[in-house]
Structure 1
């Protein structure tokens, strides 16, 4: 379980959210991208050599269409969120996850106070580490290898409907705690925790929906 003092930091209003509540209508792009770009850049969000970070998704606004140069894993802690991707509305409910590759274009609908979403920012370099540990091909490993080595990927993303999986919840909470209360060997711990999380997601293909381009296919265990 996430300690109260960490949870308070994650769910409290940020300065950006306070500005939006006070009538500021535009998103402050300087936080995560250059003024002329619609690509969110991990160099703005991660420290040098940092592989991961987590930030609370900004509420009280609609995010315009954008891309990012990192792998994004979004976890709905409470409420819900809706993305518009490839002319589809994809709604992620409480306890579910969305994994986006670094090429995909998407916008995000308005989130209100009860919609608490954690954005995990993952450098592509981490996937090289993870790929060395994956032997069998499945929908998650295919996503990882495509993100690393495919230059014509037309926008793949995965939805994990794992709201009843207590292991997934526990691993996500451990990652958040490790990020906010780093220990001596924090980088090693985070690499292992994210690897264990993805392994648990791979173990339940019946709960994965895989989308690519303008179509989607629900991946069933019998097809893996």
Structure 2
């Protein structure tokens, strides 16, 4: 990140100066409306805004709290230690941390050179972001959908150790600049940039850590990544053999987490891709069928019509 931007972000805030002058606690009036420890977006966001940023408060312990908004932390440099729902999360330079409204967070004191940026985001901001992402299935999409509902899906936080992923780092720098300059004026650009960020993160499953890194969830992440990448030739038996898991156990994991089976998940991905080809290319249907993994074009036609209730031609014509 550019030195000029880091210098801007590392500036001592009035709250931090009071802490350095002897205050031992955070200034509750900045964050809370009442004695309850729920940080209120209304105090941090200017009226009408769906998203804004503020530097993470340094030099002081931030006691356990919740938020009535989605919080997204980017570690610009240095490191910080967070406890989320009792789980210790160490953020280092370049890492990303997403928390929904249901997460309980506590933060250990950070030093002068430990620079983190907190994104304060109202759930409505993600409506447009999800539209731009489309129907892609991923843990991150499930998390965003959970932010728009009364209960989180798959845990209350996601942590990405993506310091070495250059496109993610570039997008984060762009987002911060947009937010510092004029967050309301740049809302649409911010949503587009956020959507691009999420699309990149969806391909970083090996860098993703969740609230419950259980074996089942890890296997589901691996499977979804496999289907998204190799949908043309994907095989359930090949996946199970490669990942040293028996077919029965993996089938149970898929059913438990999705209510579907491998064949259904693969078919949905192939149909999604076929629809994309129909709407965005002039390829003949026979070639599209082969491109998504079906050598039998007649079978592809029947499956497509069963899935969407209309023919590939009708979809191409927008009928």
Instruction: Tell me whether the two structures share a fold, i.e. TM-score over 0.5.
Output: yes
- CA distance in 2 between counterparts of 1:153 and 1:105 reads 15
C-alpha contact (below 8 Å) 2:54/2:118 kept by paired residues: yes
The Cα offsets for residues 182-211 of structure 1, whole Å up to 9 and x where unpaired, read as 399512111111111111111211111121
C-alpha contact (below 8 Å) 1:84/1:107 kept by paired residues: yes
Secondary structure of the residue aligned to 1:124 is coil
C-alpha contact (below 8 Å) 1:66/1:107 kept by paired residues: yes
> Could you say if the C-alpha distance between residues 141 and 184 of structure 1 is closer, same or farther in structure 2, counting changes exceeding 3 Å?
closer
The answer to whether residue 185 in structure 2 is matched with residue 188 in structure 1 is no
- CA distance in 2 between counterparts of 1:183 and 1:125 reads 15
Match of 2:126 in 1: 127
Match of 2:140 in 1: 140
The answer to whether residue 158 in structure 2 is matched with residue 158 in structure 1 is yes
- CA distance in 1 between counterparts of 2:154 and 2:178 reads 34
The answer for unaligned runs of 5 or more in structure 1 is: none
C-alpha contact (below 8 Å) 1:98/1:157 kept by paired residues: yes
More strand by share: 1
C-alpha contact (below 8 Å) 1:54/1:120 kept by paired residues: yes
Match of 1:216 in 2: 213
Question: Which structure has more RCO (C-alpha within 8 Å, separation ≥ 6)?
Answer: 1
C-alpha contact (below 8 Å) 2:142/2:154 kept by paired residues: no
The answer for unaligned runs of 5 or more in structure 2 is: 225-319
Moved more, 152-161 or 28-37: 152-161
The Cα offsets for residues 82-116 of structure 1, whole Å up to 9 and x where unpaired, read as 11123321111111111001111111111111211
Secondary structure of the residue aligned to 2:124 is helix
C-alpha contact (below 8 Å) 1:139/1:210 kept by paired residues: no
Note the C-alpha offset of 1:132: 2.5
The Cα offsets for residues 22-55 of structure 1, whole Å up to 9 and x where unpaired, read as 1111211111221422111111111122121111
C-alpha contact (below 8 Å) 2:70/2:99 kept by paired residues: yes
Match of 2:18 in 1: 19
More helix by share: 2
Match of 1:198 in 2: 198
The answer to whether residue 65 in structure 2 is matched with residue 66 in structure 1 is yes
C-alpha contact (below 8 Å) 1:208/1:219 kept by paired residues: no
- CA distance in 2 between counterparts of 1:160 and 1:167 reads 14
> Could you say if the C-alpha distance between residues 153 and 183 of structure 1 is closer, same or farther in structure 2, counting changes exceeding 3 Å?
closer
Moved more, 172-181 or 159-168: 172-181
- Count, aligned residues: 220
Note the C-alpha offset of 1:153: 6.0
Match of 2:42 in 1: 43
The answer to whether residue 179 in structure 2 is matched with residue 179 in structure 1 is yes
